Chain A
Amino acid sequence: MDGPKFTAILHRALLLGGVWVVLTGGEAKGLALGAAAVPVALWMSLRLLPASAPLRLWRLAGHLPRFLAGSLRGGIDVTRRALAPRLRLAPGWVEVPLDLPPGGRAAMGGELSLMPGTLAAGSRQDRLLVHVLDTDAGFERTIRDAAAAITAMTDGAPR
């Protein structure tokens, strides 16, 4: 097994193990069961999405504050619109060409759906379909930032 693939699998094992410790509260009996449950969960996750290259964890961590700030702005924006006496909406569609590995595409769509004004609706061929809440507000700009951030995290994964 080559290096990057092993690191990717190790990351998943640590994540699943961490979730198990939280679920069981770290009791000895629970941890013993986890010794069986975690490998099974790891095997299933590798069946569903084969490991390719590890995420750049420090970039993921670096992106987190921007993600939280973005989803906060997204929530405030939609709240303002929902509570305004007169609705100001100009919904429309944008198609964005994408060059991301399969898992990255889903992550990108998920992130966009929480950012202000944008909502991913899957992809057609290699283009991501994005619904924009207000075509006059320039929400499209955030799409490129999100794509750049995800690309940086999945750097090195096969396309």
Chain B
Amino acid sequence: MADVATVVLTGIGLFFFLAGTAGLMRFPDTFSRLHALTKADNLGLGFIALGVAFQAATWREVALLALIWALALLAAGTVSQLVARAALGEEETR
């Protein structure tokens, strides 16, 4: 049962990762690419963390997976703003 959950969830995670990369490669401008990177990848990482959590044996592993995802989510939200802002400055001074 736990194995089924792992297979399904990590599969969904992989799908979002591939989609994020597709967006990063296909979208026409810097800011649109940043949308794809921020949203799809963190969802992918979240599903993979959830899937792997079904294989964990102790509470500490589950908590660590949650902590890593929370950190990645927080970092993505903050970093995407900073990178967008930097790209905006670069565009304006060009």
Contact = CB atoms under 8 A, between A and B. Distances in A.
Interface residues of B, number: 38
Q: Is chain A's interface secondary structure helix, strand, loop, or mixed overall? A: helix
Nearest to A77: B39
Interface of A: 19, 22-23, 25-26, 71-72, 74-79, 81-83, 87, 89, 91, 106, 109-111, 113-114, 116-117, 119-122, 129, 131, 133
A119 B26 CA distance: 18
Given A74-B43, A119-B34, A121-B81, 17 more contacts: A71-B39, A71-B42, A71-B43, A78-B36, A81-B23, A82-B19, A82-B27, A82-B40, A83-B19, A106-B78, A110-B76, A110-B77, A110-B78, A113-B39, A113-B80, A119-B81, A122-B85
Interface of B: 15-16, 19-20, 22-23, 26-29, 31-32, 34-36, 38-40, 42-44, 58, 60, 63-64, 67, 73-74, 76-78, 80-82, 84-85, 87-88
24 contacts: A22-B67, A75-B16, A75-B39, A75-B43, A76-B43, A78-B23, A82-B19, A82-B20, A82-B22, A82-B26, A82-B27, A82-B36, A87-B26, A87-B27, A87-B28, A106-B81, A109-B77, A110-B76, A110-B78, A116-B39, A119-B84, A121-B88, A122-B88, A131-B31
